[in-house]
């Protein structure tokens, strides 16, 4: 039994320990690099915002606002919320700094934790990480297609297999209102058979019934009217050009008229990328996004058409192929006896100042145990300081891959390690060819 007095992390909120980090860093670096290539600059907004920001943008009837927000009153009696997503904060910052007056189009990206009090499951957490993009000032549809193509390319470059891209259009606000009523009229005669949650949604948010997981709800929805049949001419033209551009870019997609997504600010283009591979279970939405042409105005700004998306980093990691993720260590410094510890500390400084990753184990362990540790840490080379070698002004440099060992003068150690690493790189390239 574990000790009940131990304080544990909050349910649904996870630690990420250093061994897991290389995979996180790989995904984050790929995202940042892709965003940079497509012209996006990073924005960092606070983790806490005034509650009305989320209520007004995401929508009162949504699950996020009605059930999942971490909201509290602070000591100054302000009602604050831990951000459940990044779009509302980005729009707030965009307006607060009057960015619309400075440039016609702004392309922003962000990366950070979000908070939703959902039921924890594999791929669904109460604190989770999102990487997202927001583009303000371009009404599309080419930018819509570019964004979808960008995420698909990013995921492919990371090796995420078995993707499905779903696209839909919600039309304008008026279209959505008309569709809501059409859906309500269609569903009302079936009300008695609907799940309890959908019965409630029939009143508050009927569109969300379309993505109910209940088999009976799904069967009822199978013959529901399609929003695509209700689009006006301008919305239809936008959607047709989006799908034509995606075709020209070679991005495979499926039109899914039942895709609605759980945030109220969307209009027109909507998309979601679902994964099937890796360890992903039921939480297979890797990323979701869409247009929110009315939101900037709704929050008190000018009419600025906008589109964005966000992907869940934990879900991307679950979808990634499993690969060894050993931390890389260029050199491990090993001492024959503790009297050489000061010399080892100086050697470690020398290696690290030269840009090498280096570790030492100066706890007075035996040579055998230090070498075992070098093996465990995946050290490519080992620098051994011994009494006799010190007297001659040399160290022994061991190449852990080919088990080659040589004497090297103190001031030549960095160059000798670099040469060993370069040899290894060359033989890797050779193997890859
Ligand atoms: P969202 O669909 O709510 O959209 O979230 C985007 C992605 O975040 C999801 O596809 C999923 O990968 C991940 N995610 C959401 N909730 C959780 C959770 N509880 N645990 C783990 N991962 C989760 C938005 O947040 C919009 N702000 C996206 C957007 C940006 N639309 C326009 N601009």
Residues with CB under 6 A from ligand 1: 85-87, 116, 118, 123-125, 128, 130, 132, 134, 261, 263, 285-290, 292, 308-312, 314-315
Segment 143-170, tens digit of pLDDT = 999 999 999 999 999 999 789 999 999 9
Instruction: Please tell me the distance from the alpha carbon of residue 423 to that of residue 368, in angstroms, as a whole number.
Output: 26
pLDDT at 425: 65
Mean pLDDT computed over 203-211: 89
Residue nearest to atom 8 of ligand 1 (CA): 312
pLDDT at 427: 52
pLDDT at 204: 87
pLDDT at 428: 47
Segment 389-422, tens digit of pLDDT = 999 999 999 999 888 899 999 999 999 999 999 8
Ligand 1 atom having least distance to the Cα of 64: 3
Residue nearest to atom 30 of ligand 1 (CA): 309
Mutate to test the pocket of ligand 1, among 288, 296, 314 (most ligand atoms within 8 A of CB): 288
The mean pLDDT of the chain is 93
Is pLDDT of 433 > 90?
A: no
Instruction: Please tell me the distance from the alpha carbon of residue 160 to that of residue 180, in angstroms, as a whole number.
Output: 36
Mean pLDDT computed over 98-120: 98
Alpha helices in 72-214 (DSSP H): 87-96, 142-158, 173-187, 196-204
**CA–centroid distance for 428 within its chain:** 30
pLDDT at 327: 63
Q: Express as a percent the part of the chain with pLDDT over 70.
A: 96
Is pLDDT of 277 > 80?
A: no
Burial of 257 (0-12, 13-18, 19+ CB in 10 A): middle
pLDDT at 215: 93
Mean pLDDT computed over 303-307: 98
Residue whose entry in the numeric block shows the structure tokens 């690493």: 421
Q: In this structure, what token pair is assigned to residue 410?
A: 């103190």
Q: In this structure, what token pair is assigned to residue 317?
A: 């990691």
Answer with the residue of higher pLDDT: 193 or 324.
Answer: 193
pLDDT at 1: 56
Residue whose entry in the numeric block shows the structure tokens 């379309």: 210
Ligand 1 atom having least distance to the Cα of 291: 32
| pTM of the entire predicted model | 0.90
Segment 4-30, tens digit of pLDDT = 889 999 999 999 999 899 999 999 999
Please report which confidence band the pLDDT of residue 426 belongs to, taking 50, 70 and 90 as the band edges.
low
Ligand 1 atom having least distance to the Cα of 261: 2
Please report which confidence band the pLDDT of residue 333 belongs to, taking 50, 70 and 90 as the band edges.
very high
pLDDT at 280: 79
Ligand 1 atom having least distance to the Cα of 308: 33
Q: What is the CA radius of gyration of the chain?
A: 28
pLDDT at 429: 43
pLDDT at 367: 94
Please report which confidence band the pLDDT of residue 262 belongs to, taking 50, 70 and 90 as the band edges.
confident
Is pLDDT of 179 > 70?
A: yes
Mutate to test the pocket of ligand 1, among 315, 317, 318, 319 (most ligand atoms within 8 A of CB): 315
pLDDT at 56: 96
Please report which confidence band the pLDDT of residue 103 belongs to, taking 50, 70 and 90 as the band edges.
very high
How many angstroms separate the alpha carbon of residue 261 from the centre of ligand 1?
10
Instruction: Please tell me the distance from the alpha carbon of residue 429 to that of residue 433, in angstroms, as a whole number.
Output: 6
Q: Express as a percent the part of the chain with pLDDT over 90.
A: 85
pLDDT at 241: 98
Nearest to 408 by CA among 377, 430, 384: 384
Neighbours of 235 (CB within 10 A): 21
Instruction: Please tell me the distance from the alpha carbon of residue 136 to that of residue 99, in angstroms, as a whole number.
Output: 10
How many angstroms separate the alpha carbon of residue 211 from the centre of ligand 1?
15
């Amino acid at each position: 039994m574990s000790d009940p007095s131990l304080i544990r992390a909050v349910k649904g909120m996870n630690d990420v320990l250093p061994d897991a980090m290389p995979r996180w860093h790989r995904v984050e670096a790929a995202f940042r690099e892709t965003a940079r290539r497509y012209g996006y600059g990073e924005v960092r907004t606070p983790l806490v915002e005034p509650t009305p920001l989320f209520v007004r943008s995401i929508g009162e009837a949504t699950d996020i606002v009605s059930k999942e927000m971490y909201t509290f009153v602070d000591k100054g009696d302000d009602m604050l919320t831990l951000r459940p997503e990044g779009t509302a904060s980005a729009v707030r910052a965009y307006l607060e700094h009057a960015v619309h007056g400075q440039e016609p189009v702004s392309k922003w990206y962000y990366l950070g934790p979000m908070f939703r009090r959902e039921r924890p499951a594999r791929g669904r957490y109460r604190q989770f990480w999102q990487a997202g993009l927001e583009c303000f000032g371009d009404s599309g549809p080419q930018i819509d297609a570019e964004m979808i193509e960008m995420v698909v390319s990013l995921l492919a470059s990371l090796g995420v297999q078995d993707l499905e891209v779903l696209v839909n259009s919600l039309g304008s606000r008026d279209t959505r209102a008309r569709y809501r009523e059409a859906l309500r009229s269609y569903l009302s005669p079936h009300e008695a058979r609907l799940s309890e949650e959908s019965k409630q949604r029939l009143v508050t948010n009927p569109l969300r019934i379309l993505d109910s997981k209940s088999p009976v709800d799904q069967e009822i929805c199978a013959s529901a009217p399609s929003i695509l049949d209700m689009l006006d001419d301008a919305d239809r033209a936008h959607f047709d050009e989006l799908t034509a551009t995606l075709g020209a870019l070679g991005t495979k997609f499926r039109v899914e008229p039942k895709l609605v997504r759980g945030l109220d600010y969307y209009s027109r283009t909507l998309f979601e990328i679902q994964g099937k591979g890796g360890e992903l279970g039921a939480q297979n939405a890797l990323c979701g996004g869409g247009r929110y042409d009315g939101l900037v105005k709704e929050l008190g700004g000018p009419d600025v058409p906008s589109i964005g998306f966000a992907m869940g980093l934990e879900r991307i990691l679950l979808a990634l192929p499993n690969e060894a993720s050993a931390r890389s260590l260029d050199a491990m410094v090993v001492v024959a006896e503790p009297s050489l510890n000061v010399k080892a500390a100086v050697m470690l400084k020398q290696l690290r100042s030269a840009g090498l990753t280096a570790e030492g184990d100066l706890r007075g362990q035996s040579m055998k145990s230090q070498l075992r540790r070098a093996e465990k840490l995946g050290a490519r080379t080992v620098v051994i300081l011994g009494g006799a070698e010190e007297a001659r002004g040399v160290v022994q440099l061991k190449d852990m891959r080919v088990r080659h060992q040589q004497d090297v003068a103190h001031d030549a150690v960095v160059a000798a390690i670099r040469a060993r690493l370069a040899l290894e790189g060359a033989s890797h390239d050779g193997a890859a060819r």
